[in-house]
Amino acid sequence: MTDELHVVAFNVPWPADYGGVMDVYYRLRALSEAGVKLHLHCFTYGRSQAPELESLCASVDYYRRDMSWRLQMGRRPFIVSSRDNADLRCRLLGDDVPVLLEGVHCCALLEEGALQPGRRVAVRAHNVETDYYSMLSRSETDFLRRGYLKLEALKLRRYEPILRRASAVFTVSDADGDHFRALGCRRVATVPCGTPNRGPVERPAADAVRQALYHGNLAVAENDAAAKELITNIFDGLECRLVVAGHAPSDSLQALVNRHDNVTLVADPSDREMQKLVAESQVNILTTNQATGLKIKLLNALFNGRHCLVNSSMVEGTGLAGLCTVEDSPEGMRQAVMRLMDEDFAPAQTVARQRLLQPFVTANAIRPMLDWLAEA
């Protein structure tokens, strides 16, 4: 068994303030607590170096993502070619410690000659990226950006078979696992997205804050559109408050918020601020147009919040629908918001949730990864 692991991350996983990096950060923490000596390699894409990671890892190295336009003209997906780094390859060739690649983004290291033949390399598949990029393109309103996303989806479809070279692929769901098995990957195991929560959390009194919360990375077109739809079609005229919180809200979203007295925008909240909003809001609203990808926002709201109002795509394939109120129509959501605002959230519901969510606690979810490491 090896107690050492290289982890190559697509971005700096601190602060843990959106789904992808939350998945990486919580797993690093769980692996470290399990006694694994971690060597973290991450790309500084829009994020700074983070000294906080040094408490979890034996070493942390940073690399610049190459954003040159010429890479977008190649056959490889841009998310891959922009993270193909000679210094990273050289550093990994210095030993034979197993490697975990966070996402297809980092899979240039699976290409011929990148690492030693027979090197044990696993991939954490955060999505079926071909489907994810196709769905992102449908929500994008900017013509050039939509074209880039469609082209990237095609390139990813051609590139995806490279995952057959990995010694293991760890997926976020059983459905994604079926996709990679059909692709011919050798060893596929489900490692659900997790949170570090281990027990019940304290919440304010049930009537402390009569508000609903929608949060996400507002720079993503899908999340921007979802926030606008909530404001226009659901909360317009309601006698309760909606808080929209997240990174980089658009000017058009800010303008829409300004026209509604019962809507508040919290731009770029800290992790502490976000967790306070999740815990104190009577209703957490989570919607998505795609039944794929990470569900950490949902898990966080279930662990730390009260009522969760979602659409069916948010809970599809998760097994978590029974813990939420599920509505797909604007009118159904509007009625559910008004009902849940007056519905107490009993302590017994918190305890029941914590019991049902134990498989999603990261310390439990990483067991397939520890089993893979034990075979080295």
Among 89-93, 181-185, 292-296, name the one with the lowest average pLDDT: 292-296
Q: What average pLDDT does the segment 114-140 reach?
A: 91
Please state whether the predicted TM-score (pTM) of the whole model is above 0.85: no
Where does the chain hold its CATH 3.40.50.2000 domain(s)? Answer: 4-196+361-374, 211-359
Q: Is the pLDDT of residue 275 over 80?
A: yes
8-state DSSP, 15: S
d(CA 142, CA 134): 15
Q: What is the pLDDT of residue 307?
A: 94
Q: What is the DSSP pairing of strand 241-247 with strand 211-217? A: parallel
| CATH code of the domain made up of 211-359 | 3.40.50.2000
d(CA 38, CA 27): 11
Each residue of 306-331: pLDDT tens digit?
Answer: 999 999 989 887 788 889 999 999 99
Q: What average pLDDT does the segment 79-92 reach?
A: 97
Q: What is the pLDDT of residue 43?
A: 97
d(CA 375, CA 123): 16
Each residue of 205-232: pLDDT tens digit?
Answer: 444 578 999 998 898 888 899 999 999 9
What count of other Cβ atoms lies within 10 Å of the Cβ of residue 71?
Answer: 17
Taking alpha carbons only, the member of 336, 317, 320 closest to residue 328 is 336
Q: Which superfamily does CATH assign the domain made up of 4-196+361-374 to?
A: Glycogen Phosphorylase B; (3.40.50.2000)
Q: Which residues, 6+ apart, have CB-to-CB distance to 175 below 8 Å?
A: 317
Q: What is the pLDDT of residue 162?
A: 97
Q: H-helix or E-strand containing 131? A: helix 129-139
d(CA 157, CA 153): 6
Q: What is the dihedral of CA 70, 72, 77, 79, to 10 degrees?
A: 90
Each residue of 6-19: pLDDT tens digit?
Answer: 999 999 999 887 77
Q: Is the pLDDT of residue 291 over 80?
A: no
Taking alpha carbons only, the member of 230, 211, 236, 217 closest to residue 307 is 211
Q: Is the pLDDT of residue 201 over 70?
A: no
Q: Is 1 helix (H, G, I), strand (E, B) or coil?
A: coil
Q: What average pLDDT does the segment 108-131 reach?
A: 94
